[in-house]
Structure formats: structure tokens, C-alpha cells
Amino acid sequence: MVATEEDLAPATAERTARTWPWLVLGVLIVLVLGSVARYLEDTVPAAAKGTSLEKFAAAVEYPIYAIALGLIGNVIVYYAGLRERIADAVRTEFFIKTGLVLLGASINLSLIVKAAGPAILQAVLLISSVFLITWYLGGLLGLDEKLRALLSAAVSICGVSAAIAAAGAVRARREQLAYAASLVIIFALPSIFLLPWLADVFGLSPAVAGAWIGGNIDTTAAVTAAGAIAGEQTLQIATIVKATQNALIGIVAVALTAYFAFKVEKDADAQRPGLRQLWDRFPKFVLGFIAASAIGSWYAGTVSAAEAKAHIGVINDLRTWFLILAFVSIGLQLRVSALREAGWRPVAVFGGATLANLAIGLGLASILFAGFTA
């Protein structure tokens, strides 16, 4: 006997009724942790003023508070047995993409146009070289080809989003996606603090530092966090560079689909991927980011400088809230258990590819963004 839609409807309604309280609880947890992060950013520097901790407190900004609170919250909800139940509320991708669209409103469109040339060239060269290096390392250590594809896409493009797109293209197993996503987050967390520090040690200009951060850190949320720590101009360039890389997800996903269909799986009946699949894979928030920049630039030209600054300030404050929620979610999403199950070989491949990414990315950023000014 085949179940009809009428038979399945009560079961679906029951699942929804069981899920929504946990969704509400998860949203509340994210909001509370985000509010505490914002409170700490506002109050700690003032409380430390005049003490030996004044400089340290002034240097610690909201990305650090938000990620730290997310990690603490992760431990609490794990031992309380809530982590999986509230997972649907931990929407890192939604929070970060909304925040980046709002960020676009504060970036003059002329800066995006000016940075587009070197950003595209850097993205193509960096993605191609790092993808091939990761693919080679994965083959050298005998990784499954589908896992090789996930890791190669994650390291070379933009972390979890690229891994998800690659997983759909090559029909990877759920646990393989979990390995890749966990590696992305674990490697991205120290990069948030390490790359701004190294950029300062190397004496990189804001543009070069932004291009290096945007081209190397594997998640858009972590790029934004590192850029926020390094400074507003660095954040803007890093966002443009990362958005350019994100725009290439569709091309890589289509290429992987074709490669696995006709080379690895050798399916003669497989349909050739077309423009529709490319559009389906394209990250739409990139268009929102450019549209917000265009609207913001137009509006700034129609009102006084003071009025434009006031309105952009409101948008920037809203943007900060969404980014704080994204950084809290990064901490809440960390899954160390997936790495233990994966073993040492994926970790070695990801680590080696990350080092190559850092070196190649620094070289390209130093060449393509040398002398770049906003």
C-alpha cells in the first residue's frame, strides 16, 4: 500500500509541532549570546579604562566576544542535549549573507568596480592553483575522490558553501560533508586572529591585507570577522575579494558535476550540466551586495554628507548585529567529533593545502593590490 499525501500530512504536521519550540529556543539562545557579545564590546573597554588592561580591552572587538560566547554556548548545549535540537536556528549562512548585503550599502560602488579586475584575476589564479594542489595531496594520501572534491572546493573557494555545492555535484555522503565542514570551521577560527596579526607584522597595506584575508580564510563569516578586526578598509577589500570567489562556486560545481558524471562514474546517460545549473549554484547574495552598494552610492549623492553618514550609520549598526549573530553561530556549529571519525589524512590534506593557500594568496595579493587605494 502506497502512502498518499493525505496520509503523510498528519505526520508532517506532528513533526512541525515538535520542531518549532526547539527552533524558538535556538533563536533565543543565539540572540541572547549575541546581545551579551554586544554588551561586552560596549562596556569592557570603559570598565578597563585607566587600568593595565586598557589597551587589551580596547583591542578586543565584537567578533572575538561573539565567537568565544558561541564556543561556550556550544559546550553548554552539547552537555544539555540540545545541540542537535536547536541546529535549525543556528543559521550562520543566513546571518552572514544578510550582514554582507547590508555592508554593501556602506561601500561606494566605484570601489567595487575598481577592485573587480585584480579581485577576479586573484580569484581565478588562486582557486585554480589551490584546487589542484589539494586534489593532488588528496590523491597522494589515498582519499576517496568525492572527499577530495569536497576538500579541494572548500579550501580553494569559500569553505562550507563550496563544500555543500561540491557535495551536491559529486553526490558525496553526508559524513564526508560533515568532515569537510568541520575542518573548515576548525581551521578558520585561528585564522580570524592569526591573519590580521600577521598582516600587521608584515606591514601590509589595508588593501593587500584585505585581499590576503579575503582570498585565504575559508568561510565568508570568518573573513568578515578577520576583516573587522583588521579595520574597515581591510574589511571592505576582503569582502569584495571573497564575494568574487563565491561567484565562482557555480562554475566549479558544474565542472565537478561533469567530471564525475563522465570520468569517475562514467555514466553514459548523464545529462550535460547547463546554464540553469550554473545559475542555481550561483550565490545570490553577491547580487544583493552589489545592488546595496549601487543604491547606497546613489543615495549618498542625492543628500547631504551629514544625512548620508547618519543613515549609513543606522545600516552599519544593523549590519553589526547580523554579523555578531553569524559569529555566535560559528562557535555553536563547531563539531570536533566529525574530525575524530575522519582520521588524520583529511586533516593533513586540508592543513597542507591551507599553507599553500596562504603562501600563494600572499604573493598574489602583494602583486595585484600593491599601491591600491580606495
Residue 138 confidence (pLDDT) = 93
Q: Cβ of 46: how many Cβ atoms within 10 Å? A: 10
Q: Which of 286, 284, 315 is nearest to 300 (CA)?
A: 315
Residue 135 confidence (pLDDT) = 94
| Alpha-carbon distances of 299 from 8, 45, 101, 109, 302, rounded to whole Å | 51, 34, 16, 12, 5
Cell of 19: 520542531
Q: Which of 163, 140, 161, 164 is nearest to 152 (CA)?
A: 163
Distant-in-sequence, close-in-space partners of 284: CB < 8 Å, separation ≥ 6: none
Q: What does the pLDDT profile of the chain (374 residues) look like in tens digits?
A: 444 444 444 444 444 445 788 888 989 999 999 999 999 988 988 888 888 777 677 767 777 788 889 989 999 998 998 888 888 888 877 887 888 788 888 787 888 888 888 999 999 999 999 999 999 999 999 888 888 988 998 898 877 777 877 877 787 777 777 778 778 878 888 898 899 999 999 999 999 999 999 999 877 778 888 888 888 899 999 989 988 888 787 778 778 877 776 666 565 565 666 667 667 766 677 788 888 888 988 988 888 888 888 888 888 889 889 988 988 887 887 777 766 766 788 889 999 999 999 999 999 999 999 988 76
Please answer whether residues 249 and 168 qualify as being in contact, where contact means their C-beta atoms are separated by less than 8 angstroms: no
Long-range CB contacts (< 8 A, 24+ apart) of 267-271? none
Distant-in-sequence, close-in-space partners of 66: CB < 8 Å, separation ≥ 6: 33, 34, 37, 323, 324, 325, 327, 328, 331
Q: How far apart are CA 300 and CA 139, in angstroms?
A: 52
Residue 87 confidence (pLDDT) = 84
